[in-house]
Structure formats: structure tokens, C-alpha cells
A and B are shown apart, each in its own frame.
Chain A
Amino acid sequence: MINPFVYFFLFFKASLFSTGGFTNLPSLRQDLIARSWAAPANFGEAIAIGQISPGPNGLWVVSLGYFTDGYLGALLALVAITLPPLLVLFIAGRYTRIERLPWVQGAMRGIAHAVVGLLITVVWTILHQPGVNLIGWCIAGVACMLALSRRINVLLILVVAGVAGYFIYR
């Protein structure tokens, strides 16, 4: 029997001590499997749903919530990942008071570089998943070019990629 309060706390804690949509995974995996509230396969399935569903990738935890505790679990997971990012208001409020300081401007420049680096690692991670071969890299390249052209809707690009995947890999 899953205790909804503990269940919510585990999702909240994992999100509070993470950054981005996926770094809460290790904590959730450890806590939920230790309580037998989730099976290891649930995590891979939930991430797959997160890749093809609308909205941020971090909504993969909604899928995990559904797989582990049904619709209540999905709702609790959604609320749990919504609350921690509210701290950005506190951070932004303090930042506006000190933004003139040279070291703050330098720090923000440094972070801007880190952001690009982290995005590159995400691209690397996505393109090094099992099942992404040379054809997958070509699909990525075409998707990138189409998006850069700004002439094609992002959703349409993904639909075309899905259709291509169907005919190539089925």
C-alpha cells in the first residue's frame, strides 16, 4: 500500500535536489524501488513516454506516477515537480539587487557558457541512446536543419521523424 504523503515527498525531494528534467531519476529510482513501489522497467517506459508526449521532458515523472500509483500518482508527481522551480522567484529577486556588481556579471557569463555545455551533453546523451544508429544521426541532422530554416513547425518535424522511423525500423 502506497502512502500518498511519503510518495509525494519522495517525488518532491528528488525534484528539489535536481536540475533539469532527468536528474531526479537516480533519487526516485533508489527510493521507489527500495519500497517496492516501482519496478526497474517502469523508469525506461516512463522516459519513453516523456520523449513522445507534449510538454517538457520532465513530465516523464507523470508517466512514472501513473505506472506506479495510477492517476493519483500522476497527479502527485505533477504537483511535486511544479513546486521546487518556484524558488527561481527568490533567486531572481536577489539577482536584480546585485546585478550591477562586476563579479555577478562575470558569474552570469560563466553560467551562460555552462548552459550551452549542458545542452550539448543532452544532445550527446540523446544521440547515444541504444537504438540510435547512423540513420538516427541523419534524422537528427535533418531535424536540426529544418528547425533552423524556421519554415517548418516543430511538431511537423517530429511527425515526419516518427513516420520515417516507422518505415525505416519496423
Chain B
Amino acid sequence: MRKHDSMQTISAGATLSPWRIFRLWARIGLESFGGGSATTLLIQRIFIDDLRLLTREEFAQLWSLCQLAPGINLVAICILLGKRFGGRWGIGIALAGFLLPSGSITCLLAALYASIARFAAVQAVVRGVVPATGGLMLVVCINFLRPLFAGTINKRGIAFPRILTTVLLIALAVFGVIALNLSAILVVFGSAVIGALWLAPSAPSADPAPQETVL
């Protein structure tokens, strides 16, 4: 990443060149060894921390939309960010950059793995990599938690009811999936219903995010 990229702040209406979009997503696809956790973390680092094209809250909002879409959430976020910074063509370019190089390597690795999987050394390496991906996913969790707890501790004190609500809703989702074996889609929509009934503000927001910040 060039130094000046990390220093500048780009406005909400910023666009990126097709080649830049392709390179960014190819980098995300190729550098994010370890699966979804590593990929999400890289997207956050590049678009939020390095390029400063998004805030954490904007990313969390886009990611929430992706939970409503079928299929791989990372592909959905790639589509949304591709459109936001490159329009319709940006979608195809972002997808091509994200999936073609990494998908090709995955295919070649499958061919290679088929020939060496029997070796103990390969199995040992995999046993080290798999838990590390769990640790990376935990970092992604923490990044998504931050906006939920934002403002709960300030000069006026600690907002215990809000903290308890947050913890309770998260625990309900975990319990639903792990203990009750509910489908992820059901948990997402159930949480949406609970949120609509319980977490809705008393009045419409006077200053909602502009449309451009979503797409």
C-alpha cells in the first residue's frame, strides 16, 4: 500500500478506477489465506484503516445487508463495494479480481492436495492453520462489536441497560445456532424482528445516512 493512500481521507462519493478496483480485490482474494475471517479482516483494514473510504459503522451496515442476501457474504460485500466505488462495471471487475485468481489457486491446490494429502507433514501444517483462522475470526467479531458498544461508557456513566441488551441479543443468537441448531437465516430474521420490536428508536431519524453511503 502506497503511503499517500493511507494518509488521505476520501469523501463518500469517491470512485476508484477499474484497474484499482481489480488490484484491490485481487489483493484481498490472494492475501487472505485462511478463509472468511482473514478475508473480512483484510477488507476492513484496506477500506476502513488504509484507504479510509468507509467508517466502521458504514461497513457494519453494509455487512448487515449482506447477511440478508443468499450465498457467500464476502461475495455480497464485494458486490456492494464494487458498485459503490465503480458502478455497475465495478461489480464485475471486483468479482473478477476477488474470485478468479483465488478460485484458480483453490482449484490448483485441490489438485495438489489430492496428490500429497497422505503425508503427515501436510496434515500437521493444516492442524496449525485451522485454529489460527479461529483467532482471526475472533478479531472480526471484536471489530463488529465495537459499534454496538460505542457510547455505552462516557462521562455520564455506564449505560448498563444497553450493554445488557447487546449481550443478551448476541447470546440468544449463539444459543439459537449452537444449542437449538437453528439455521443462520432464521437467526438473522428472528433478530431483525426482535430489533424492530425492541430496538427501534421512538422517532424517525432526522439525519439518516445518505443513499450514496449504502451503495
**A residues bordering B, Cβ < 8 Å?**
15-21, 23-24, 45-46, 48-60, 62-63, 65-67, 71, 74, 78, 81-89, 91-93, 95-96, 99-124, 126-127, 129, 131-132, 136-137, 139-145, 147-148, 150, 153-155, 157-158, 160-170
* A84 adjacent to B31 (CB under 8 Å): no
Is B164 interfacial (CB 8 A cutoff)? no
Question: How far, in whole Å, are A92 and B107 apart by their CA atoms in the complex?
Answer: 32
Known: A15-B72, A57-B35, A126-B130. A115 touches B67 (CB 8 A): yes
* A136 adjacent to B130 (CB under 8 Å): yes
* B148 adjacent to A112 (CB under 8 Å): yes
Residues from chain B with Cβ under 8 Å of A93 in the complex = 215
Known: A19-B185, A82-B95. A122 touches B73 (CB 8 A): no
Known: A85-B69, A91-B68, A158-B38. A106 touches B215 (CB 8 A): no
- Pair count A-B, CB < 8 A: 399
**B residues bordering A, Cβ < 8 Å?**
29-39, 41-42, 45, 49, 60-61, 63-76, 79-80, 83, 91, 95, 98-99, 101-103, 105-107, 109-111, 113-114, 117, 120-121, 123-142, 144-145, 147-148, 166, 169-174, 176-178, 183-185, 187-188, 190-205, 208-209, 211, 214-215
* B140 adjacent to A56 (CB under 8 Å): no
* A112 adjacent to B147 (CB under 8 Å): yes
Residues from chain B with Cβ under 8 Å of A83 in the complex = 71
Known: A58-B72, A58-B74, A114-B187. 7 other contacts (CB 8 A): A17-B70, A51-B133, A59-B106, A85-B69, A115-B60, A122-B36, A153-B31
Residues from chain A with Cβ under 8 Å of B131 in the complex = 126-127, 132, 136-137, 139-140, 143, 161
Known: A113-B170, A154-B31. A92 touches B191 (CB 8 A): no
Residues from chain B with Cβ under 8 Å of A82 in the complex = 75, 95, 99
* A139 adjacent to B135 (CB under 8 Å): yes
Q: Which of A17, A96, A107 has the most CB of B within 10 A?
A: A107
Which of the residues B110, B132, B136, B140 comes within 8 Å of A63, measured between beta carbons? B110
Q: Which of A23, A49, A74, A85 has the most CB of B within 10 A?
A: A85
* B174 adjacent to A120 (CB under 8 Å): yes
Which of the residues B98, B171, B205, B211 comes within 8 Å of A55, measured between beta carbons? B98
Question: How far, in whole Å, are A81 and B72 apart by their CA atoms in the complex?
Answer: 7
* B83 adjacent to A89 (CB under 8 Å): yes
Known: A93-B215, A140-B134. A100 touches B188 (CB 8 A): no
Nearest-Cβ distance from residue B31 to partner chain A, whole angstroms = 5
Nearest-Cβ distance from residue A129 to partner chain B, whole angstroms = 6
